[in-house]
Amino acid sequence: MSAALASSRTNGSEVVKELAFFAVIALLMSVMLLGVETVDRPTGLELAVRWDLVLIAIGSTVIGRLGLIFRRESISRLWQAVLITVTAVAVFEMFVRFRELDDRWVSPVVLDMAFGSVVSTILAIAFVVIVFATAYFTMKVQGAVEVDQSKKLSAKIQLTYRSNTKKIGLIGIVFFFIFPLLFGDDRSAIDLATLVMIYIMLGWGLNIVVGLAGLLDLGYVAFYAVGAYSYALLSQNFDLSFWLCLPLAGIFAASFGIILGFPVLRLRGDYLAIVTLGFGEIIRVVLINWYDFTGGPDGISSIERPSFFGLADFSRRVPEGAVSFGDLFGLDYSSMHRLIFLYYLILVLALVTNFVTLRLRKLPIGRAWEALREDEIACRSLGINPTNTKLSAFAIGAMFGGFAGAFFATRQGFISPESFTFLESAVILAIVVLGGMGSQIGVVLAAIVMIGFPEMFRELAEYRMLIFGAGIVAIMLWRPRGLLSFRDPTILLNMSQKEKVAGEIK
Amino acid sequence: MDWAYFLQQLINGLTLGAIYGLIAIGYTMVYGIIGMINFAHGEIYMIGAFHSLITFLICQAAGISGILPLTLLLMLFVSMVLTSIYGWGVERVAYRPLRGSFRLAALISAIGMSIFLQNFVQISQGARVKPMQPLVEGGITLMESANFDVQLSYMQIVIIVLTFVLMVVFSLLIAKTSLGRAQRACEQDRTMAGLLGVNVDRTISTTFVMGAALASVAGMMVTLYYGVIDFYIGFLAGVKAFTAAVLGGIGSLPGAMLGGLLIGLIEAFWSGYLTIEYKDVATFGILVLVLIFRPWGLLGKPEVEKV
Amino acid sequence: MTDNKLLEVEHLTMRFGGLVAIDNLSFNANKREITAIIGPNGAGKTTVFNCLTGFYVPTEGRLTLHAEDGPRLLERTEGFRIPRNNGVARTFQNIRLFTGMTVLENLIVAQHNRLMEASAFSIAGLFNLGSYAKAEKEAVEKAKFWLEKVGLYEQADWNAGNLPYGSQRRLEIARAMCTDPSLLCLDEPAAGLNPRESAELNILLQSIRDDQGVGCLLIEHDMSVVMQISDHVVVLDYGKKIADGDPEAVKNDPAVIRAYLGEEEDDELPPEVAADLHLDPKAH
């Protein structure tokens, strides 16, 4: 084994050539977009130069590449870890530099090109030389080949996770239910949890379409928008209560799903994706331009907040004839009551989505969805109507999107087309994909990672979408089917779940 | 009917269409060879626009912007080269490892790449709209009528002529060279082409490079034509160019150009005669209609389903 | 003979652009019989299947299935409705299982339409009403029956994709049978099987014919299978029928021998074949 590896190993000078190649590529890619900044001046656009960023870009590319080479050549893990760390630090350094941009303004350009900051350039070059030299000698010495323990470990984790999904799910539910008891007075914690929960619900809704039925929908946000606007408009124009509008919003969104889905669901995967993207954008453009109906870009404001199931009101000043929530339960007024109520409301809505999905999966319709994802032609040969089956997935997914939209409208009290851009669809899709298509727990994990963490690390907010995009690519490369992409059978004849999983891992 | 107005819309539409067509070729070539929608292609075009803008600013700082042809050539050359590398890099990083994985993985990776590139440029170059003074000014007055004159600007001539030249060059490249032959072989059957000694990886990389080079030309022309760019222009242009590629018949080079021209004309006439607000809806509507009724496009061939 | 007819193919023609894949083909398949369609590669055999099972709409011709409750015109029926309403099931040349789902799930998906009704389009199923639970139990029973029949009971919980090749073939047949067909179309079921598996397949198909009373239409290259189990053989070449009869007669038919082995010196068809092809009175 190790002999075979050793013989396939590239020698030092080849590695240096490879690194040099990538250094040149990094130079060419970064020389303008990173190296030069266009700055608005009263006189027009001018340039600022930041060669150090280019150097960092080259450095991190080279080091990162070296890490990959070490990986390819099975060089000690310690080295890999060191290199990955160095790359990460370098990239982080680059981010930090970005934030100081406005102060760094050098002109004229050509002068700076020639002299620049000599010291940093020399340092950077020295750094690169050291990396190259290390690469050369490590290849010569041929570091020890380590036995890969990680596979065994991941198998063990997988077994534990998959044979206990129910328990894990239950613990999760209990945690989310007692969350307000733990952080009850922390307004931002509850707000964040509510936001995460909205995305969990959206993720679960989209999971029906993408994860189970295998239909890539890039316009899911359209149904979210339909739900939000139907509640806002129904409540403003007809004075209907939230509790009546909630099911209506779901029905409207589902009908939209059917209307949009019917003509396009015959299309192949990626065509379907683009068409749904188109529909999402059409709905947004209509929302922006149909001023009389939707309020255009200004959106709709002062949308009615939900009452306590029509029994009591959460406002400080209760309207004539209504009961306040505090009075109903003999509590003092607190603005947290409404927030906690909203949190529980979305928690329950999300859980309903989850349980309906889990149940549907074990029904003929759910099995047909999965079968359709696996092989549409075989489905047709078994007499399954592909269009109706897809349509049902589309409509049910849309319905949950609509519920979430109505909730969003009532929570924010204000909606505008801004909230329903393509990026939103991409975020929801990323949650589903990151979690592992079809995995309910995966969606929760992904929503916490993608929505929760960025909100917590506000300082990095401007890099959020950058990291987000890179993260999607990285996860696709690492696990093309998502983090927790294990499919549990819907019915077992003569094995337990644990046996089944154990058998698969072997 | 005001013929002057009509003629003006026609000219504007053709110019716009030439730009869409150039971007659409990238979609069509990539789709032809690896069967995936290169979702990040719109961002490549945007990056091309930025490269040409920055090249211009460097020329300006170096004091050679007065020599117009030299500046234009430099912009074209630098932008094509640097943007091509982005096309190459995107394929290398985000798509190649996923070749042979399940279909949607590559598409999702492409979406991630698109978001990444967009935000990369937003952060490195700022979110604000970048203005640029017009370089190629003036034009020919084709027709004078009571309410206005029909203008064919020199910039429009440059765009249409350049597009035409590039189209001819690339068509010849694909029809006559061994590279083109390798590309067509990979389109038919990648495994077999590989067995017969075609370097499949390199062929696919070249396809991305060519697509990116053309997109960068489109980016440069937009920069010069409209005089404003920002990090977000790639998304909409990308979707429209993709529509053009589908309309013309995805996989077909002349189809992409034809589709681009049609989309450009539709957009120009829609804005000219109907509501300008809904011009994007018109494009998306066409995309949906084409995919429903004629998914193989105008010049493509229908696929027979293999059972 | 006429009472026993299960499938009647009359003047079936299928063109793809300029290519004529099937040219004016007529033949019958009977109930409780195995009808084999043989012919060299590219003769149009699979295209016949695709027309029968609704993947292609024939350019011309009539396809009649004589079901229990009267004749059905297959060429008028839209794709998936053929297996659903008319009881035509099929397998595929390159196996098409739901590879990520378990063996048992494959068989339950095949009973989709009945279960869908029982679950009242998921409403009853959502609340786990008794009627649905019962239907699902029946579906599992039927799946078990076929699992035992094809010898896959032990592997019921495996993912279908993990089964060895021969088992996948058998599973596909079992899956088709779970739709309760009256006509089973098998596209090269013996391809890639070893002699022992092939012999087992023969027994399975004979049992489907004799015990289940299902008529089979069989595309096969393996002559040992064709000759042993089929009751009736139709030979195609270049989309045309060149022979039709019992296995023994077809085996000795000069046109068939020529189609398979080629005959260089004589390009003219023997008169009886020419008659069969061009002078068929029904054709004009």
CB A66 within 8 A of CB A135: yes
β-pairing, C215-219 vs C183-187, is parallel
With bands split at pLDDT 50, 70 and 90, how would you rate the model's confidence at A391?
Answer: very high
Q: Which of C234, C227, C142, C138 is nearest to C185 (CA)?
A: C234
The predicted structure's pLDDT at residue C114? 84
Q: End of a domain among A120, A141, A162?
A: A141
Measure the CA–CA gap between A218 and C163, rounded to whole angstroms. 35
- Radius of gyration, CA atoms only, chain C: 20
Give the best residue of C157, C168, C182, C184 to mutate against chain A (max A CB count within 10 A).
C157
Range of the domain at A456: 154-304+331-505
A163 within a domain of the structure (yes/no): yes
Per-residue model confidence (pLDDT) at position A88: 64
pLDDT over threshold 80, residue A145: no
Q: What is the mean pLDDT of chain A?
A: 78
The β-bridge partners of C222 are none
Considering only CA atoms, which of C55, C152, B287 is closest in space to residue A274? B287
Say yes or no for a CB contact (<8 Å) between C16 and B307: no
Q: Which residues of C touch B307 (CB under 8 A)?
A: 46, 50, 55, 92
Range A297-319 average pLDDT: 76
Complete DSSP assignment for C20-44: EEEEEEEEEEETT-EEEEE-STTSS
The secondary structure of A82-136, three-state, reads HHHHHHHHHHHHHHHHHCCHHHCCCCCHHHHHHCCCHHHHHHHHHHHHHHHHHHH
| Total number of domains in chain A | 2
Respond yes or no on whether the N-terminal peptide bond of residue C247 is cis (omega within 30° of 0). Answer: no
Cα distance from C233 to chain B (closest Cα, Å)? 24
CA distance A188 to chain B (A): 27
Q: Do both A174 and A110 map to the same domain?
A: no
Q: Which of the residues A28, A94, A476 would you substitute to probe the B interface, choosing the one with the greatest number of B C-beta atoms within 10 Å?
A: A476
Q: Chain C: give the shortest CA distance to residue B301, in Å.
A: 11
Show which of A93, A109, A141 is a domain's final residue.
A141
Please state, in angstroms and rounded to a whole number, the distance separating the CA atoms of residues B221 and A67: 40
* C66/B70 Cα distance (integer angstroms): 80
With beta carbons under 8 A apart, name residues in chain A contacting B88: 25
Q: Residue B61 has what pLDDT? A: 83
DSSP C159: B
Examine residue A321 and state whether it is found in any structural domain, yes or no. no
In a domain, A480, yes or no: yes
Q: What percent of chain C has pLDDT over 70?
A: 87
* DSSP helix/strand/coil, B305: coil
With 0-12 / 13-18 / 19 or more C-beta atoms within 10 angstroms meaning exposed / middle / buried, residue A474 is middle
**A151 burial level (CB within 10 Å; 0-12, 13-18, 19+):** exposed
Residue C197 has pLDDT above 60, yes or no: yes
Cα separation of the two ends of chain B: 53
Q: Which residues, 6+ apart, have CB-to-CB distance to B241 below 8 Å?
A: B20, B21, B23, B24, B26, B27, B41, B42, B45, B260, B263
Question: Does the C1-80+217-284 domain belong in CATH 3.40.640.10?
Answer: no
Pairing of strands C240-245, A44-49: unpaired
Q: How far apart are CA B298 and CA B305, in angstroms?
A: 19
pLDDT above 90 covers a percentage of chain B that reads 24
Whether the CB-CB separation of A232 and A415 falls below 8 Å is answered with yes
User: Would you call B284 and A465 a contact, using CB atoms and an 8 Å cutoff?
Assistant: no
Kindly state the DSSP code that residue A322 receives in the 8-state scheme. Answer: P
Q: Whole-number mean pLDDT of chain B?
A: 86
Chain B interface, Cβ < 8 Å to C:
304-305, 307
Mean pLDDT calculated for residue range A422-448: 86
**Number of domains within chain B:** 1
* Distance from the B143 Cα atom to the nearest Cα atom in chain A, whole angstroms: 34
Mean pLDDT for C68-93 is 79
Report the CATH number at residue B169: 1.10.3470
Mean pLDDT value of segment A52-57: 78
| SS3 state at A286 | helix
Same domain, A78 and A179: no
Q: Which residues of A touch C98 (CB under 8 A)?
A: 370-371, 374-375, 378
Average pLDDT of span B222-231: 88
- Cβ contact, residue pair B307, C46, below 8 Å: yes
Whether the per-residue pLDDT at A270 is higher than 90: the answer is no
Count CB-CB contacts under 10 A for residue C34: 28
**Domain limit, last residue, from A114, A141, A168:** A141
Q: Is A271 on the interface with B (CB under 8 A)?
A: yes
Among the residue ranges C173-177, C226-230, C279-283, the one predicted with the least confidence is: C279-283
pLDDT mean over B113-121: 91
Shortest CA distance from C46: residue in chain B = B307
Number of other residues whose CB lies within 10 A of the CB of residue A3: 8
Q: Which domain holds residue B202?
A: 3-293
Model confidence pLDDT, tens digit, residues B204-219: 898 899 999 999 999 9
Separation between Cα atoms, residue B94 and residue A208, nearest integer Å: 26
Chains that touch C (3 or more CB pairs under 8 A): A, B
Tens of pLDDT along C19-78? Answer: 888 888 888 888 888 888 888 887 888 888 888 888 888 888 888 888 777 777 877 777
User: How far is residue A177's CA from residue A476's CA, in Å, rounded to a whole number?
Assistant: 32
Task: Please give the radius of gyration of chain B, using alpha carbons only, rounded to the nearest integer.
Answer: 19
Within a domain: A146 = no
* Contact residues on chain C for B305, CB-CB shorter than 8 A: 55
Closest CB to C122: pick one of A360, A377, A386: A360
Q: What's the rounded Cα separation, in Å, for the pair A248 and A257?
A: 14
Q: Which long-range contacts (CB under 8 A, 24 or more apart) does A305-313 make?
A: A305/A242, A305/A338, A305/A410, A305/A413, A306/A242, A306/A243, A306/A341, A306/A342, A306/A345, A306/A410, A307/A241, A307/A242, A307/A243, A308/A341, A309/A243, A310/A241, A310/A243
Contact yes or no for C80 and A364 at CB 8 A? no
Per-residue model confidence (pLDDT) at position A4 = 41
Residue A385 C-alpha, separation from nearest chain C C-alpha, in angstroms: 6
- Reply yes or no on whether the pLDDT at B192 is more than 90: no
Portion 351-380 of A in contact with C at CB < 8 A: 356, 359-360, 363-365, 367-368, 370-371, 374-375, 377-380
Comparing A504 with A142, which gets the higher pLDDT?
A: A504
Asked if A496 is an interface residue toward chain C (Cβ–Cβ < 8 A), one would say no
Mutate to test the interface with A, among C46, C50, C103, C116 (most CBs of A within 10 A): C116
Q: Which long-range contacts (CB under 8 A, 24 or more apart) does A499-505 make?
A: A500/C157, A501/A158, A501/A159, A501/A162, A501/A163, A502/A159, A503/C158, A504/C159, A505/A155, A505/A158, A505/A159
Task: Say how far apart CA A373 and CA A485 lie, in whole Å.
Answer: 14
Per-residue pLDDT tens over the stretch B245-274: 888 888 888 888 999 999 999 888 888 888
Q: Distance between alpha carbon A155 and the CA centroid of its chain, in Å?
A: 26
For residues B108-131, average pLDDT: 87
Q: Where are the alpha helices (DSSP H) in chain C?
A: 45-52, 81-86, 103-109, 112-118, 123-126, 130-149, 165-177, 195-210, 223-229, 247-251, 254-261, 271-278
CA distances from residue A153 to A149, A157, A324, A479 in whole angstroms, order as listed: 7, 6, 55, 17
Q: How far apart are CA A264 and CA A256, in angstroms?
A: 13
Contact B47 A108 (CB under 8 A): no
Q: Tell me the CA end-to-end span of chain C in Å, nearest whole number.
A: 24
Are A401 and A253 in contact, with CB atoms under 8 Å apart? Answer: yes
d(C-alpha A55, C-alpha A88), whole Å: 15
Work out the average pLDDT over A138-159. Answer: 57
Flag whether residue A480 sits within 8 Å of chain C, measured between CB atoms: no
Going by pLDDT thresholds of 50, 70 and 90, the confidence category of residue C119 is confident
- Residue B298 covered by a domain: no
Pairwise pLDDT comparison (B115 vs B2), residue with the higher score: B115
> Are B53 and A33 a contacting pair, CB within 8 Å?
no
Mean of pLDDT over chain C = 81
Q: What is the largest CA-CA distance in chain C?
A: 73
User: Which tokens belong to B109?
Assistant: 């990776």
Write out residues 364-423 of A within 8 Å (CB-CB) of B. Answer: 377, 422-423
Q: Is A286 on the interface with B (CB under 8 A)?
A: yes
A109, pLDDT greater than 50: no
Confidence of residue A120 (pLDDT cuts 50, 70, 90): low
Percentage of chain B surpassing pLDDT 70? 97
Q: Quick one: which of A422, A386, A420 has its CA closest to A262? A: A386
Please state which of the ranges A1-15, B200-214, C153-167, C263-277 shows the lowest mean pLDDT.
C263-277
Question: Which of B 104-133 lie inside 8 A of A, CB atoms?
Answer: 104-109, 111-121, 123-126, 128, 130-133
The H-or-E segment that residue C215 falls in is strand C215-219
Write out pLDDT tens, residues A75-91. 666 666 666 666 666 66
Q: Rounded to an integer, what distance in angstroms lies between the CA atom of residue A214 and that of residue B104?
A: 9
Choose the weakest-confidence range: A90-104, A242-256, B38-52: A90-104
Tell whether C97 is within 8 A of chain A (Cβ). Answer: yes
The C-alpha atoms of residue A473 and residue A465 are separated, in whole angstroms, by: 12
Q: Does residue B306 sit within a domain?
A: no
Same domain, A83 and A187: no
- A241 and A215 assigned to the same domain: yes
For chains A and B, what is the number of CB pairs under 8 angstroms?
Answer: 188
Indicate left, alpha or beta for C95 from its phi (over 0: left) and psi (-120 to 50: alpha): beta
What residue type is assigned to position C277 of the chain? L
Q: Do A381 and C92 touch (CB under 8 A)?
A: yes
- What Cα–Cα distance (Å) separates residue A97 from each residue in A91, B14, B261? 10, 44, 43
| Winning range, highest mean pLDDT, from A127-141, C114-128, C159-173 | C159-173
Coil, helix or strand for B230? Answer: coil
Residue of B nearest to A27 (CA): B82
Of the listed ranges A218-222, A260-264, A394-398, the least confidently predicted one is A260-264
- Provide, as residue numbers in chain C, all residues whose Cβ is less than 8 Å from the Cβ of A382: 83, 89, 109-110, 112, 175-176, 179
Question: Hey, how many other C-beta atoms are within 10 angstroms of the C-beta on C210?
Answer: 11
CB contact under 8 A, A430 and B112: yes
* Interchain pair C16, B305: CB under 8 A: no
Give the dihedral of Cα atoms C203, C209, C210, C212; nearest 10 deg: 110
